[in-house]
Structure 1
Amino acid sequence: MKFGFWLLFSVINFTLFAQRGLIQYSRENGLISNEIRDVAYDRKGFIWLATPKGIERFDGQRFIHFKHDPVDSLSIASNDIQGLVFDGDKTIWAFTYNKGLIGIETETFHISNYSKRNIASFGSNRISSVVIRNKIIWYTSVEGKLYSFDPKKKKTTPFSVYRSDSKVIGLNSMILDRLDSSNLWINGMDGLYRFEIKTRSWKHFKFKKSTDINSGSASVYRNEMSCAVQDSKGNLFIGLKKGGLLYFDQYQGLFKSFPVSIEDLKYQEISSIQWRDSRYLYLCVLNKEIILFDTKKKTYVRYEEAERSAVMPYHIIKFGSQLAIASSNAGLFVHDESLIYGTKIRTETQLHAIRYSPDKKNAYRLMGNSTAVLKKLRGNGPETISLKGLIDAKTYYYLEDGSMLVVGANGLVRIVRDYRIVKKILYPDHQSIDKRFQNSLLVGDSLLFIGTLDASLLCYKLSDFSFKRIYSISAETKLDETREYFPLAMVYLDGAVYFSENEQLYRYQINSKRLDRIRLFNHENTDQITCLAISPRRKLWIGTRASGVWSYNLDTKKLRNEFTSFNGLQNDEVNQLTLDSRERLWILNPSCIAIVNTLSKKVQSLEKRNGINDVFGITMTPDSIYFLQRNSYVVGDAKEDLPIQKKAVPYIIQIRDMNGFSSFSTDKFKYAYNENNLVFEFGIRDFSNAENNLVSYRLLGLDEKWINGNQKNEALYHNLPSGKYVFQVQVLEGDESAITSYAFKITRPFWRRWWFITLAALAAAFSIWFFMRSRIKRIQSTEQMKAEFSLQINELESKALRAQMNPHFLFNSLNSIRLFILKDEVDNAADYIAKFSKLLRMILNYSRQDMITVYDEIQSLKLYLEFERLRFDQDFDFDLQIDGQEVLDCQIPPMIIQPFIENAIWHGLMPRTEAGGKIRVSFQKQLSGLYVMVQDNGIGREKAKENNRKRSLKEGSVGLQITKDRLRSLTLRTKRQNEFEIEDLIDENGRAIGTLVTLYFETPN
């Protein structure tokens, strides 16, 4: 019977859950609880789970928890979730035992709670099953009533089950009729009910003798129905609470019973039913196992005892080729039928090798743990060939004459065509273990190369089993790890055997018996060689311990690192390399088996999701590929392409604003300028290969390269400038990728909008115009002031000139000339006229200049003093003092000192009664400027005022005022200090002895 079950499995190619691609997710993976009460798929293929601790949404990579929070009114109403139903659109509906209904939108995760707490007319908070029709929710209560609920109108309508008695019945599950959606089928504790929505009428169907198709059989009529599915004809398969399956023909109203004939499952509840395809049904035997029911043959198929899944199943659901199983205590199990590769065959002992005879008619499997045996796979030979005495069998070979050669750790066995053992070469038990055989290589039909544990390479001649040592590792480098695996690999091509020892490669020329060392790696990329494969194109493929697969061209001597974890491999450790007839390279590593097209460089993988894991070796035969496991192997067609690859699907969950911590859905495409600190939550939907996905993301408009997104579920971006962006998430598997995108825009702030910029530009233009206009006015006003100032200076200078050349001075000068002529003092008159004319010419020349040197000023003052002295008959003396030559280069206004000298002569010296009048003019240069001092020994200012008050006041005041104005104008123009000070000189008795005038001119530093 067991063999018949297994044969049926082989026919339908139904793979085993426990060993073939069944992936478990539990609390260790982030699941909130290992007790799963129900499971559902939404439209995009995400899995939703009902647990006693809340609701989970799972994408194969991450769990999103929905839990009740007493202080959060927006959380789910209860954690005690009984079941889940997807409405086919965008809402998952969860029902509870005492808190009513919970609706969760699958895109936005918006939660809505419906119960008597917030809807007074709500039917019952204790819900047992739910179906959805035209957005109306139909649900049954634990009390045995049916309700329809409109969540939009928040209206509930009850429909009580009509019974002749008043007994309350339990309603367990409910389905919507596939052919007539106006009918509901409800499983109850006392049979099957049909409710017609249009007529609101009930019909009750009980399984009893009168409704049993096989009424003559001794059937046990059990009506506690738990679950049901409908076939294409509209008839129902119904699971029973106390075990077994019913078939119900709704058109005849008759039942047919299919009891479970398996003894230990006979009375176990069928808690869930799911179609596998149009013929087979998955039956979930509550907390036991999953069995298969053939609806055509009406027979059950059960897994072998060693292969039964320990999932403790509670509920099962299918989505495409993917199966999700809710376990009552082991979490979630996911199985994808389309990914399974090959057929799995169990063995009693470990399989070491499978080979076909040269004519492909015979094949044996080399098996055994301590004692090796050959078991027939095909052909006419004996079923088993015992290899007693041969321990730790390694491999065997078919020779051209049809005989077989078996290699073990302790020797060789030769088996001829009639399956007789003709020769054994076995080491005695006391032989050192270091001599035991390891790897071997058959060359032609005559030579066998064997590596031993003492790091030696032996060559056996099969004609007489003589041997010679080809290579032996030196004593200095003979390490345990080297001896254990030596040689790590051997291949043969064109009369040469290539073998490896750690990172070294050797070539042994069989004819010339020459041994060459091929240095492959340098000190920068040294790695241990683990395996070799060679192609007819004279390319040597090299597997390494930590750097993937290398290729070495035997003709060009070029070494190249071909395949690593950076370009398709899932792991850089390579345990075996095998080339098939299509020159595809099969790479065995701890993570998976990679299949590489050596021409296109395309990499594909076989792994746990394909039902292939824990493989320690790959064996190629002309028509099959064998993946060796401990007590089983998987065999696939050598000509078959790889199975369809299920690609991971990237998606974007939501977007959050870090400023206000608000969340946005992917339906929002425009953000304000201050909503520019965004977090993008993303995920990868893949229930079979999540650990091997290469995930990356980028923000087009900001990021130039993809950013590694493995072990992440969100991307943060701060202070994004306004503009258009596209956030992308990519999943890379091999050389193929899947990308999802989310385009959005961050708007400009108002000060960067066109209308604001236009207004600002107009305001700026007006401001510039106003500024320029004001500036022009200021310039015009300044120029006008300068013109007026220049005019004022000219007037002051004219006044000064007129003051200096007053009529008295001219009259007195001309009168003095007349007296000189009348006295016949021609020489004096001529000298006077000459000095007078020279002084006038000098005054006129200097009056046209703003500044003159002290030297020029002294010349004019000297001429003026001599002229006045001649005029007053040598009545006073004068003295001009200069403090250094640098004084002569200083600049002062022209004729600025003359008025003070004139005042000293006329008002100080002339009124003196004594002789000896004197004027001293001194020039001193200090750090801060030039000091000019005019000192006389006249009568003083007070005495002069008394002598001629009216005249002195008039002329003195005018001359001094003109000089003050000139100095003030000079200060305004040069921004330097210019001033004078008049001081009366007195003796110790208080009598006036003269006047001192000090002029100060600030000079540049």
Structure 2
Amino acid sequence: MLKYLSLLIIYGCILSLNAQQPASIHLTEKDGLPDIEFYNIIEDSKQFIWLAADKGLYRYNGRQYDYFSHPKQRGNAVFGTLEDDKGRIWCNNISGQFFYIENKRLNLFIDLGDILNGELPQFKVNKTHLIVFTGRTIYSVNLDDKKVTKAINKTFSLIGLPLEQSNNYYYTKRNYIIKTDHTFNKVDSLHIDIYDERINTSISKSANLASNGNIFLCHFLRHKKNVFYQFDILKKTLELLKVPIELESRSINQVFFKDDEIWMTTDIGIQIFKLLDNKLEFQRSLFNKVYVTKIIRDSNDNYWVTTKGEGIFIIPNINIFQYELSKDLVNINKIKNIGNNTILFGTNNGRVATIDTEKNNIKVLDISSTYRVSEIILDKVKPEAIIVKEDIALSLNIESGRLQKMYNELLYGAKSISKIETASYVLSSYKDAILLDNNFNEINKLVNKRSYTNYASKEKKDVYVSTVEGLFVFDKAFNKTEIKYKNEHILGTSITETNDNTIWVSTFKNGILGIKNKSVIVTYDESNGLLSNKTSVLQSDKNHLWIATEKGLQLLDVTKKTFKNLTRQDGIPTYRISDIEVMDNKVLFVSNIGMFGLYKDSAFKKVKNKTVYFTDFRINEQSHPIKDSYELDYDENKIGFNFNSNGFQSNVNTRYKYRLLGSDSIWKTTNELVNYVDYNSLASGDYKFQVKALPESDTIKTIEFSILKPFWKRWWFYVLSVILIGLAIYFIFVSKIEKLKRKQAEVLQKEFVNKQLVLSQLENLRSQMNPHFIFNALNSIQEYIVLNEKELASSFLIKFSRLIRIYLEHSRESEVTLNQELKALNIYLELEKNRFEDILDYSIEVSETIDISRVKVPSLFIQPYVENALKHGLLHKKDNRKLKLIFYLNNNNDILFCEIEDNGIGVEASKKLNASRRPMHKSFATSANEKRVTLLNTTRKTPIKVTITPLDLSKKTGTKVEIKIPIQSI
């Protein structure tokens, strides 16, 4: 308990020091920023942002950073960027070199290193001269002949950069403010009582001048302390200002007026003051502890803040702000206005706290649980707030600040709670929606399904409940009616009500729906104003509706049916908005990165016409210099355009309309992040490509081009074409005839091969049905009959007849399955085993990877090789006759291997024996199969291969026949 209290005390002490800051975007090298140390920044007339950095000069166009350098440049760092009357960008470096950008190149104008001796001067460029302001004098350099002269013959000390006002220069010289014309002829001067030779008082830095109309603020550094004067150029009055102690010894880099405020960029951030009774009254500070070098306001009202070592901060909208919170408090899920400018909020890590939005004081109320705060509601009668977490519920007395634990598990993890008049509540949770009494006891269950949210109507007293099965409305008697849209269930994420008694429902993907009398009367989606169909939080504001979408925050005027939008370009730092709270003059919204607010009357920027310019013109994918018009050959007809609209994050928030007159007069719109258009194979003719930025702009950029007619549209080409076409037809006709002849020859050859295959198959059948085999079989049957072995005779006869039938059936097929072939081989070997008087040991091994019912082999093909093994190898042995058949597949499963192994007398011995008995004899079965293999291979991509080798190489006994058959499946 003591630990819990001490943590709360520590939180209260620390968080009370936090302040309200403008919502900003911090750019570093992680975001593609080319450097983190910047000395100057300007926006040019074309809305390019120019950055003078430690690593060099960069240009930002809203999409990318372009780097500019010169081969003679001494050192990378550049300073003092400015734009002249011709639109050229100038910069200088500490080595005394002055550069300007022209035609996208950095040009060295002049090197004044010998004159400046390492001094980094300030400078200006007018129509005729580069004017350099050093600590002692002013140099003028003619832009045409680069002649260097002293603009002021007399040497002065500590000359500051002048301000221009009504065609005059104002600058400081020692203890005077000098007014000259543009040729530096003195017009007037005003003495400043800041330099006294008698006491050797010294000014250690030339003055900075900042103007606000006719009022100049003069800043000096004397004795390492800042001194400020107010100078009225009309009244010619000069008054010394009181400086806050905190500002006396700080490094001040820039002073400028913003409305009635004075902003100073310092080594500890931006210090903001108001001038009251000749005193600089401190107002607030921005970017504390950051060394700020420069701040500018661009044409789109974005504030760019450059720093020394921290990159760039961008404030897209000065009227959108955020509250500085500790890391434990930024991941906010729910907020509620409890009065007296106080906001009660809960985080996703279980913190409960309040913040005074005027004094910026933060008080942490509860850190006892790390479960997220899922709901906060206010009692409409008692000064009480109910805070619901996933594992606990708390009651806060708003007047006393007392926080009590509520022991009611029904509330834990509630997604939404609505108060119905003064007597009851409706609660939505992950499992149901229930009605509770005033003491949070269950009365009855409204919906027995997961509920997303609910809302109690003020006027009709109806209760709306959104569930996983749709949107339901309950009347006073709690009769349930489902509201559908286009006969589809409505899956609502947030519900609210505007003053015109319209119930508004946001959806997961269908935009927002307006409901009256239990019917959808109006819808908004991307087609009529919504930035995205995916919406989340809704919050009513009289007859306005604040809408959080995945692409921005919008304000809908439900009466006028008009939208105002706030995107990242307008200053919204995040689109993951979890809750919205409307106050009198501002709106607060929260997300996983903190609490933000905006001023209703000033947060919406005025929509400005965006200027589009071409960045690339491509012909056949080759880039060409940008011109107003082009004349192209007929084959230069693949045309591409790249364009851009400058400005911060313009690549995210800008879309373009374009058309190609001469091809199509209808305007088309690019997709998001697309800034190019390509046309392929354009016909010859005159074209005009036009593009403009959205929102609709009056400024249209145009490039005209003509594609000449090709040579084939001339008369001589038509004559030549007819001749060539005639020749082509002739040659095509001849080629067709030759092709038909070749095809006919191939058909005849195929028929011949098929015929030969049939004959070969018949020869194989003859070899298998040879008289010797039939005679032996019949003799065996006769022997069984003579010996009165009726059963053996019957069995042998059945096998013999079955084998004959199989052979006859196979003779009608060119291929059979391996299963059918194995059956025939089994029967054949059983019959032959009888012939060998059972002195035959055979086996058939089939790999398990073979699908014997799908793999096919040529019919009547394998048996002749088995017969040869028996007839020529094993028949001549008296005993130990062994025959083995092995079937398996290769690694790719596309070749069937059949190995026939016998331990007979061998090939050589068999040849000698046969030669002595019947000279010049060759096995009929062997020759038939060899012929068939040759014929089969003529019709196959992968040939069948048969190899015969001795099984025992040393003794040359036994025989191994290996047959490789490419698989053909059923």
Query: Partner of 1:596: helix, strand, or coil?
Result: strand
> What residue is the counterpart of 2:494 in the other structure?
531
User: Structure 1 residue 138: deviation in Å?
Assistant: 0.5
- Counterpart contact for 2:68–2:105, Cα < 8 Å: no
Over 3 Å counting, the alpha-carbon distance change for 1:99 and 1:335 in structure 2 is same
Query: Partner of 1:489: helix, strand, or coil?
Result: strand
Residue identity in the other structure for 2:579:
G
User: Structure 1 residue 270: deviation in Å?
Assistant: 1.3
> What residue is the counterpart of 2:589 in the other structure?
627
- Counterpart contact for 2:19–2:323, Cα < 8 Å: no
> What residue is the counterpart of 2:605 in the other structure?
644
Residue identity in the other structure for 2:210:
V
> What residue is the counterpart of 1:290 in the other structure?
270
> What residue is the counterpart of 1:130 in the other structure?
123
Over 3 Å counting, the alpha-carbon distance change for 1:374 and 1:701 in structure 2 is same
User: Structure 1 residue 91: deviation in Å?
Assistant: 1.6
> What residue is the counterpart of 2:445 in the other structure?
470
Which aligned pairs between 1:488-499 and structure 2 lie closer than 5 A?
488-492=453-457, 494-499=460-465
> What residue is the counterpart of 1:224 in the other structure?
205
> What residue is the counterpart of 1:975 in the other structure?
none
Matched, 1:542 2:499: no
Matched, 1:178 2:177: no
Residue identity in the other structure for 1:691:
V
User: Structure 1 residue 289: deviation in Å?
Assistant: 0.9
- Counterpart contact for 1:91–1:104, Cα < 8 Å: yes
Over 3 Å counting, the alpha-carbon distance change for 1:376 and 1:641 in structure 2 is closer
User: Structure 1 residue 594: deviation in Å?
Assistant: 1.2
Residue identity in the other structure for 1:139:
V
Matched, 1:268 2:250: yes
> What residue is the counterpart of 2:147 in the other structure?
155
In the aligned structure 2, how far is the partner of 1:332 from the partner of 1:691? 19
> What residue is the counterpart of 1:461 in the other structure?
437
Match for 2:554 among 594, 619, 626? 594
Query: Partner of 1:727: helix, strand, or coil?
Result: strand
Identity across aligned pairs (percent)?
15
Matched, 1:741 2:707: no
Match for 1:450 among 385, 402, 427? 427
- Counterpart contact for 1:533–1:578, Cα < 8 Å: yes
Matched, 1:727 2:689: yes
Structure 1 or 2, whichever has the larger Rg, is 1
User: Structure 1 residue 315: deviation in Å?
Assistant: 1.9
Matched, 1:573 2:499: no
> What residue is the counterpart of 1:500 in the other structure?
466
User: Structure 1 residue 288: deviation in Å?
Assistant: 2.2
User: Structure 1 residue 650: deviation in Å?
Assistant: 3.9
- Counterpart contact for 1:244–1:257, Cα < 8 Å: no
User: Structure 1 residue 224: deviation in Å?
Assistant: 1.5
Query: Partner of 1:115: helix, strand, or coil?
Result: strand
In the aligned structure 2, how far is the partner of 1:17 from the partner of 1:150? 51
| Cα-to-partner distance string for 1:788-831 (whole Å, 9 max, x where unaligned) | xxxxxxxxxxxxxxxxxxxxxxxxxxxxxxxxxxxxxxxxxxxx
- Counterpart contact for 2:274–2:282, Cα < 8 Å: no
> What residue is the counterpart of 1:247 in the other structure?
229
Residue identity in the other structure for 2:124:
V
Match for 1:440 among 407, 417, 426? 417
User: Structure 1 residue 136: deviation in Å?
Assistant: 1.5
Matched, 1:406 2:385: yes
In the aligned structure 1, how far is the partner of 2:641 from the partner of 2:41? 28
Match for 1:354 among 337, 360, 365? 337
Query: Partner of 1:706: helix, strand, or coil?
Result: strand
User: Structure 1 residue 131: deviation in Å?
Assistant: 0.9
Residue identity in the other structure for 1:92:
I
In the aligned structure 2, how far is the partner of 1:289 from the partner of 1:536? 44
Query: Partner of 1:699: helix, strand, or coil?
Result: strand
Structure 2: runs of 5 or more not aligned = 1-17, 720-970
- Counterpart contact for 1:654–1:663, Cα < 8 Å: no
In the aligned structure 1, how far is the partner of 2:239 from the partner of 2:517? 72
In the aligned structure 1, how far is the partner of 2:232 from the partner of 2:357? 50
- Counterpart contact for 2:227–2:248, Cα < 8 Å: no
In the aligned structure 2, how far is the partner of 1:473 from the partner of 1:501? 9
Over 3 Å counting, the alpha-carbon distance change for 1:227 and 1:386 in structure 2 is closer
- Counterpart contact for 1:53–1:67, Cα < 8 Å: no
Over 3 Å counting, the alpha-carbon distance change for 1:545 and 1:689 in structure 2 is farther
Query: Partner of 1:84: helix, strand, or coil?
Result: strand
Match for 1:55 among 33, 54, 57? 57
| Cα-to-partner distance string for 1:269-313 (whole Å, 9 max, x where unaligned) | 211122223x4332111x3211123345444455657x6356531
Residue identity in the other structure for 2:555:
I
- Counterpart contact for 1:730–1:737, Cα < 8 Å: yes
Match for 1:139 among 132, 149, 154? 132
In the aligned structure 2, how far is the partner of 1:34 from the partner of 1:420? 49
In the aligned structure 2, how far is the partner of 1:570 from the partner of 1:438? 26
In the aligned structure 1, how far is the partner of 2:270 from the partner of 2:43? 20
> What residue is the counterpart of 1:585 in the other structure?
545
Over 3 Å counting, the alpha-carbon distance change for 1:153 and 1:346 in structure 2 is closer
User: Structure 1 residue 587: deviation in Å?
Assistant: 0.9
Residue identity in the other structure for 2:305:
I
Q: How many residues align?
A: 679
Over 3 Å counting, the alpha-carbon distance change for 1:199 and 1:595 in structure 2 is closer
In the aligned structure 2, how far is the partner of 1:284 from the partner of 1:195? 28
Residue identity in the other structure for 1:240:
L
In the aligned structure 2, how far is the partner of 1:385 from the partner of 1:98? 55
RMSD: 5.2
> What residue is the counterpart of 2:292 in the other structure?
313
Match for 2:476 among 494, 498, 510? 510
Query: Partner of 1:488: helix, strand, or coil?
Result: strand
- Counterpart contact for 2:242–2:280, Cα < 8 Å: no
In the aligned structure 2, how far is the partner of 1:608 from the partner of 1:20? 14
User: Structure 1 residue 314: deviation in Å?
Assistant: 0.9
In the aligned structure 2, how far is the partner of 1:224 from the partner of 1:121? 22
- Counterpart contact for 1:504–1:520, Cα < 8 Å: no
- Counterpart contact for 1:405–1:415, Cα < 8 Å: yes
| Cα-to-partner distance string for 1:433-471 (whole Å, 9 max, x where unaligned) | 874544211222333222346x34332333x76541323
In the aligned structure 1, how far is the partner of 2:365 from the partner of 2:230? 56
Query: Partner of 2:121: helix, strand, or coil?
Result: strand
User: Structure 1 residue 499: deviation in Å?
Assistant: 0.5
User: Structure 1 residue 618: deviation in Å?
Assistant: 1.9
Over 3 Å counting, the alpha-carbon distance change for 1:676 and 1:436 in structure 2 is closer
Which aligned pairs between 1:479-878 and structure 2 lie closer than 5 A?
482=450, 486-492=451-457, 494-511=460-477, 513-518=478-483, 528-534=491-497, 540-551=503-514, 554-555=517-518, 557=519, 562-564=524-526, 567-582=528-543, 584-598=544-558, 601-608=561-568, 613=573, 615-620=577-582, 625-628=587-590, 632=595, 634=597, 636=599, 640=601, 643-647=604-608, 649-658=610-619, 663-665=624-626, 668-673=628-633, 678-687=639-648, 690-702=651-663, 704=666, 706-708=668-670, 710-717=672-679, 720-721=682-683, 723-732=685-694, 736-738=695-697, 740-747=699-706, 749=708
Over 3 Å counting, the alpha-carbon distance change for 1:151 and 1:624 in structure 2 is closer
